Structure 1
C-alpha cells in the first residue's frame, strides 16, 4: 500500500495543466513617449521616495502616512488574506492526515454487550489531481496573491504622491495668503484715503466705489484662501492618519522647492516599473489559469480515502499483534449529465479571461497617458513659468508708473486701480504655475513607477 500511495501522490503532483499557455498581450500604445526630455539619469523606480523628496518635514509626513494611512493598511491586510487563500489552495494538493480513536459498546443477542475499540491514521477524500484542476486553482490563488502585493505597491506610490502634492498645496496656500494679506492692507489704506478725498470733494464717488470694490474683492479672496488652506490641512490629516503637526510647511515656498529631473525611458520601462500594470497582469494570469480548472471539470474526478489502524474488542489488546489492518477506497466520478453546468463554467472562465485582457490593456493605456501628460507638462511648464514671471515684472512696472501718473494728475484713479488689480492677479497666477510645475514633477515620478521602492 505504501508504494501504491507514493505512486499516486507522485502522479497527482505531476498532473498536467489544462490551462492555455499564457502569452502577454501586446501593448496597445506607441513605442515611444512624446516630449522625451531628459534621457540620462536614474529611473524613477530606482529613486526611493526618501531620495526624491529631500525636505525633512515632507519625508516625516510621508513616513507617518505609510505607518498610519488606513487605505494602505487595508491594502496590506488584503495581502495577508490572499496569502492565506493561496496557502489553503496549496494545501489541497496534499492529503490531510489525521489520527482516529473510537470505542463503542452495543447490546448483543445473549443479553450482554459487545465492545469495539479502534485506533489509527487516515486521510479522506483526497483528490488525485490527474487533470490539473487543483493545481490550476492553486495557480489562480498564487496570481491573486501576487496581484494584491502589486496593489499594495500601487497604493503606496499613490499615497506618497498625494502627501507630497497636498504639502506643496499647503505651501502655495501660505504664499497666496501672505500675498493677499499684503494686498488687502494696501487696498484698505487706499480705500481710507479715497474716502477722505471723496468726503472732501477731491474725488468722485466712482473712485470711492472702485476702491471699495477692490478692497472687498481682496477680502473675499482672503476668506476663500483661508477655507482652502483649512481643507488642505484636513486632506493631509486624512492621508497621514493623524493631526497635522504645527508649522509643517513653514519656511517652504513653491519657489524654493527643488525636485530631481527624471528620464522618461520607453513604454516598456513603464510596464516593468508600474505596480498597477503588474497587478493587472497578475489578474490576467489568474483568469488564464482558471480556464484550466474549468476544463478539468469535464474529466473524471478521482479521490482516495485510506486508513491504517488497529481494532480490538478489548482495550488492552488494541495494539497487540494481529489486530492491525488497512483500507484503501478510491472513487471516481465522471460527469455524465450536468445540464450544461461545466460548459457554462468554461464559457464564464473564458469571458473572464477576455475581460482581464481588456483590463490589462486599459491599465497600459492609462499608464501611457499619465506619463505622456506629465511629460507634456514638464516640456511646457518651464516656458509658462518664465512667461508668467515676465507678466508679473511688467505689471509691477505698470503699477508703479500708474501710481506716479495718478499722483501727478496725468492718469485717472481708475487706471491706478486697474493696474493694481492686474498685478495682484499676475502674482497669484505665478504661485499657481509654480505649484502646478512641482505637482507635475511629483506626478511624473509616480507615473514612471516611483514611490513604492522603500518604506
Structure 2
C-alpha cells in the first residue's frame, strides 16, 4: 500500500516553474541616426569575416578562436557542467551495487566447541536503493544543472564575442600605429631636407641663425616621436600574440588602415532581438532559471524522503569441514525519512534560495539595461566618430595647402621661417590625429558589433 501510494504521488513537483520575466524593451535604440535603415536586419547577425574583410585579420581571428586560453577554459567549464548534469540526473534512477564478503573466524580451542572452532561464511549480494522523487526535488536539481550548463555555453559565446572584438581592436590599433610611424618617418625625411636647405641659405647669408634653429626644432620633434611609436607597436604586437595563445612575437600585416572597412550606415536591428543575441543576457537568464529551480529543491526538504530498498544474495557457512548452504537472501521494502526538528534549517534554506533567485532576477534586468546602453553608446560613437573624421580630413587638407604656401613665401623672402614652423607643426599634429580618428571610427564599428552580440553565431 505504501508503495502504491508513493507511485500515485509521483509527478508532483514543488517550487515555481521558470517563466521569462517581462522586461521593458524600447521600440528603438537611442542614438540611431535618422538615415539608418530600420527593420529586423542587424549588424550583429553578420558573420565576423564579412565585417572584417582584411584576410590577415581574418587569419588572426581564426587562430585566436583555435588557440586562445580563455576560450579553452570556457570549453572545459562546459565539459564540467555537462558532467554535473549527468551526476545530478543519475540520482533519479535506481542505484544498484554488488558486494561480496568471505569472513573466516578461528576461535581458540578452549573458547569454542570442537565442531565450531573454524568457520568460513562467504556471502554475495546485489543491493538496490531508489529514491522515489515524490516532490520533484531531484527533477528540480536536474533542471537547475541543465540551466547552469546553458549558462556555461553562454559564457563560451561571450568569450568568443569578446575575443573577436579584442583581436580586431588590437589589429586596428596596430595598423594606426603603423600609419603614425609612416607619417613620422615621412615628416622626418621632409624636415631633414628643410634643414639642409635652410643651412645652405644661412651659409649664403640669406637666412638667419634663428631660421636654422627653428628648422632643427621641427626635425628633432619628428625624430623624437619615432621611438615612442615603435615602442607602442611592439607592445600591441605582444597583446595580439597573447590573444592568439602565443608568446610575444611579430604580427603579420594586411591592408593599411585607410583601406580597412569603416562601414556604411549599419542597422542595429530590433531591440527585442538583442535579448536572444547577447551572450551575457542569455547567461543571466539561464542563471535565473537555475536559481528558480533551486527554490523547488529547497522546498522539497519540507517533505518526507521515500526510498525503495532491495537486497538479494546467496551465501553459506563452512564449519570445521562441514558446508551448510547455499542459502538465498531476499529483502525488499520502503525507507522513509521525515524531517521533524531541524532548528529552522529547511525554512532558512528556502529563504536563501528565494533570495538568490531575486538577486538573479535583478542581475538579469540590469544586464538587459546595460546591453541597451552599450548599443546606444556604440551607435552615437560611430556616428560622431565619422563626423569628426570628416572634419579632421578637411583640416589636414587646409593645413597641407597652408604649409605649401608658407614654404613658398619663405623661399621668396616674403616671411620668416616662423610661419613655416607654425604650419608644419600644426600639419604634423593634424595628420597624426587624423590617423587616430580613422582608427576610432573603425573601433566604433567593432564596439557596435560587440554590443549587438555579434561574432559568436557564426563561430
Give the aligned partner of residue 127 of structure 2. 122
- Give me the whole-angstrom Cα distance separating, in 1, the residues matched to 2:263 and 2:14: 49
Give the aligned partner of residue 364 of structure 2. 360
Equivalent residues of 1:117, 1:318 under 8 A apart: no
Deviation of 1:193 after TM superposition, in Å, equals 4.2
Single out whichever of 168-177 and 38-47 deviates more from structure 2.
38-47
CA spacing shift, 1:378–1:318, aligned 2, 3 Å: farther
Aligned pairs for 1:33-72 (under 5 A) are 33-36=29-32, 37-39=36-38, 42-72=41-71
Deviation of 1:240 after TM superposition, in Å, equals 0.5
CA spacing shift, 1:339–1:216, aligned 2, 3 Å: farther
CA spacing shift, 1:312–1:75, aligned 2, 3 Å: same
Equivalent residues of 1:310, 1:318 under 8 A apart: no
* Structure 1: 5+ residue stretches without partners: none
CA spacing shift, 1:302–1:43, aligned 2, 3 Å: same
Aligned pairs for 1:5-404 (under 5 A) are 14-28=10-24, 30-36=26-32, 37-39=36-38, 42-107=41-106, 109-111=112-114, 112=116, 113-124=118-129, 126-194=130-198, 202-242=206-246, 248-250=252-254, 252-258=255-261, 261=264, 262-313=266-317, 323-404=327-408
Q: 1:421 aligns with which of 415, 421, 425?
A: 425
The TM-score normalised by the length of structure 2 is 0.89
- Give me the whole-angstrom Cα distance separating, in 2, the residues matched to 1:95 and 1:429: 71
Deviation of 1:105 after TM superposition, in Å, equals 3.0
- Give me the whole-angstrom Cα distance separating, in 1, the residues matched to 2:393 and 2:46: 31
Equivalent residues of 1:276, 1:363 under 8 A apart: yes
Structure 1 SS opposite 2:415:
coil
Output one character per residue of 1:158-177: Cα deviation in whole Å (capped at 9) or x when no partner. 10111111111111111111
- Give me the whole-angstrom Cα distance separating, in 2, the residues matched to 1:317 and 1:86: 49
* Structure 2: 5+ residue stretches without partners: none
Equivalent residues of 1:116, 1:312 under 8 A apart: yes
Deviation of 1:343 after TM superposition, in Å, equals 2.1
- Give me the whole-angstrom Cα distance separating, in 1, the residues matched to 2:362 and 2:196: 66
Output one character per residue of 1:71-99: Cα deviation in whole Å (capped at 9) or x when no partner. 11101101111111111001111121112
Deviation of 1:233 after TM superposition, in Å, equals 0.2
The TM-score normalised by the length of structure 1 is 0.90
Single out whichever of 167-176 and 191-200 deviates more from structure 2.
191-200
Deviation of 1:9 after TM superposition, in Å, equals 8.8
Deviation of 1:29 after TM superposition, in Å, equals 5.2
Structure 2 SS opposite 1:225:
helix
How many residue pairs get matched? 447
Output one character per residue of 1:134-168: Cα deviation in whole Å (capped at 9) or x when no partner. 22221111111110001001101110111111111
- Give me the whole-angstrom Cα distance separating, in 2, the residues matched to 1:293 and 1:338: 17
Indicate the RMSD between aligned Cα atoms, in angstroms: 2.7
Equivalent residues of 2:237, 2:249 under 8 A apart: no
